[in-house]
Amino acid sequence: MRLVLLGPPGSGKGTQAALLKNRLNIVHISTGDLLRAAVAAGTELGKIAKATMDAGELVSDELVLQLLEQRLNEPDVANGYILDGYPRNLAQAQALDELLGRLNQNIDHALALIVDQEQIVARLAQRAAEQGRSDDSESVVRHRLHVYAEQTAPVVNYYEDKGLLTAIDGMGSIDEINQRLCDAI
Ligand code: AMP
């Protein structure tokens, strides 16, 4: 089972991916987490990515693809995975299809969480207080939402055109939303 989980920052992708991972016995691959680990480890790639992430911009397609390709070559992905935070623009969606073609794999479903913007800003303010992520300040959050609308929203249509997309109401309790995702899958 290979899934793509789409939705704006703060839509609950990370939370839902963590639950689906356990329920479906597959791995959760978050490019944001891979990038934050590279920053924390002080790798060359992490050093290049940090300022871009702090500004709420997208890290270059090449760097993120490099991290993803490494991750997809690890043995624990054999049973499947949930991609969270990738693809983030149409070029990445195409690059993913090429990479999967080389790996002889395909995406089974793309799930898009639909939430309202005010709820997102409130959720991310809470996350900023709890986790202290350097890109959760209100101005950066607003910029990340703008980047999502401009660059990532077209990816939803990309999977819709392929007949792979299910839109999921992302409002409600964590359990309710998780059940909707499982029903869709
Ligand atoms: P996330 O944890 O998915 O919200 O990602 C945090 C930040 O990491 C984003 O604002 C981007 O700067 C960067 N990032 C994560 N995934 C990608 C991606 N697929 N392409 C480019 N930048 C990314």
pLDDT tens digits, one per residue of 141-163: 889 999 999 999 999 999 999 99
Is the CB–ligand 1 distance for residue 82 below 6 Å?
no
Average pLDDT, the chain: 95
Q: Catalytic: 21?
A: no
Q: What is the pLDDT of residues 98-144, one digit of tens each?
A: 999 999 999 999 999 999 888 888 888 888 888 888 888 888 888 99
Q: Which atom of ligand 1 lies closest to the CA of 53?
A: 12
User: Among residues 50, 88, 123, 180, which one is catalytic?
Assistant: 88
Q: What is the pLDDT of residues 70-92, one digit of tens each?
A: 999 999 999 999 999 999 999 99
Q: Catalytic: 36?
A: no
Q: Which atom of ligand 1 lies closest to the CA of 86?
A: 19
3-state secondary structure the chain: CEEEEECCCCCCHHHHHHHHHHHHCCEEEEHHHHHHHHHHHCCHHHHHHHHHHHCCCCCCHHHHHHHHHHHHCCHHHCCCEEEECCCCCHHHHHHHHHHHHHHCCCCCEEEEEECCHHHHHHHHHHHHHHHCCCCCCHHHHHHHHHHHHHHHHHHHHHHHHCCCEEEEECCCCHHHHHHHHHHHC
